Amino acid sequence: MAEQSMTEDSVRAMAALVGLKLTDKRVAELLPQLQKSAALAKENRSLDLTGVEPDFKFDPERL
Protein backbone atom coordinates (compact mmCIF):
# COMPACT_ATOMS: atom_id res chain seq x y z
CA MET A 1 0.00 0.00 0.00
CA ALA A 2 1.30 3.44 -0.87
CA GLU A 3 2.42 5.72 1.95
CA GLN A 4 -0.28 8.29 2.75
CA SER A 5 0.50 11.90 3.57
CA MET A 6 -0.16 13.16 7.05
CA THR A 7 -3.24 15.30 7.58
CA GLU A 8 -4.74 17.22 10.48
CA ASP A 9 -7.24 14.39 10.94
CA SER A 10 -4.48 11.80 11.18
CA VAL A 11 -2.66 14.00 13.73
CA ARG A 12 -5.84 14.19 15.83
CA ALA A 13 -6.25 10.41 15.64
CA MET A 14 -2.63 9.74 16.68
CA ALA A 15 -2.84 12.29 19.50
CA ALA A 16 -5.97 10.62 20.85
CA LEU A 17 -4.22 7.24 20.86
CA VAL A 18 -1.25 8.67 22.75
CA GLY A 19 -3.47 10.57 25.19
CA LEU A 20 -2.54 14.11 24.15
CA LYS A 21 -5.17 16.81 24.22
CA LEU A 22 -4.56 19.02 21.20
CA THR A 23 -6.67 21.99 20.15
CA ASP A 24 -7.33 22.54 16.46
CA LYS A 25 -4.78 25.37 16.58
CA ARG A 26 -2.16 23.03 18.05
CA VAL A 27 -2.90 20.40 15.44
CA ALA A 28 -2.36 22.97 12.70
CA GLU A 29 0.89 24.10 14.32
CA LEU A 30 2.22 20.57 14.70
CA LEU A 31 1.35 19.27 11.25
CA PRO A 32 4.34 20.85 9.43
CA GLN A 33 6.71 19.68 12.14
CA LEU A 34 5.38 16.15 11.95
CA GLN A 35 5.78 16.27 8.18
CA LYS A 36 9.42 17.27 8.65
CA SER A 37 9.88 14.43 11.11
CA ALA A 38 8.29 12.02 8.62
CA ALA A 39 10.71 13.25 5.95
CA LEU A 40 13.65 12.41 8.24
CA ALA A 41 12.22 8.94 8.81
CA LYS A 42 11.84 8.48 5.07
CA GLU A 43 15.49 9.40 4.68
CA ASN A 44 16.43 6.65 7.14
CA ARG A 45 14.23 4.12 5.34
CA SER A 46 16.01 4.87 2.08
CA LEU A 47 19.14 3.14 3.45
CA ASP A 48 19.54 -0.57 2.76
CA LEU A 49 18.71 -1.88 6.21
CA THR A 50 18.18 -5.48 5.20
CA GLY A 51 19.36 -7.72 8.01
CA VAL A 52 20.47 -4.78 10.15
CA GLU A 53 19.33 -5.04 13.73
CA PRO A 54 18.46 -1.85 15.61
CA ASP A 55 21.02 -0.49 18.04
CA PHE A 56 18.70 -0.38 21.04
CA LYS A 57 21.37 -1.30 23.55
CA PHE A 58 24.04 0.95 22.19
CA ASP A 59 27.42 -0.39 23.23
CA PRO A 60 30.42 1.62 22.08
CA GLU A 61 32.76 -1.21 23.04
CA ARG A 62 31.45 -3.13 20.03
CA LEU A 63 32.82 -0.51 17.65
State the nearest-atom distance from the C-beta of 46 to other proteins, in Å.
9
Using CB under 8 A, pick the residue from 8, 20, 24, 28 that binds other proteins.
20
Using CB under 8 A, pick the residue from 3, 9, 24, 61 that binds other proteins.
61
Using CB under 8 A, pick the residue from 2, 4, 25, 45 that binds other proteins.
45
The Cα 44–Cα 46 span in angstroms is: 5
Instruction: Kindly state whether residue 8 participates in binding other proteins, applying the rule CB under 8 A.
Output: no
The Cα-based distances of 58 to 25, 53, 54, 62 in angstroms read: 38, 11, 9, 9
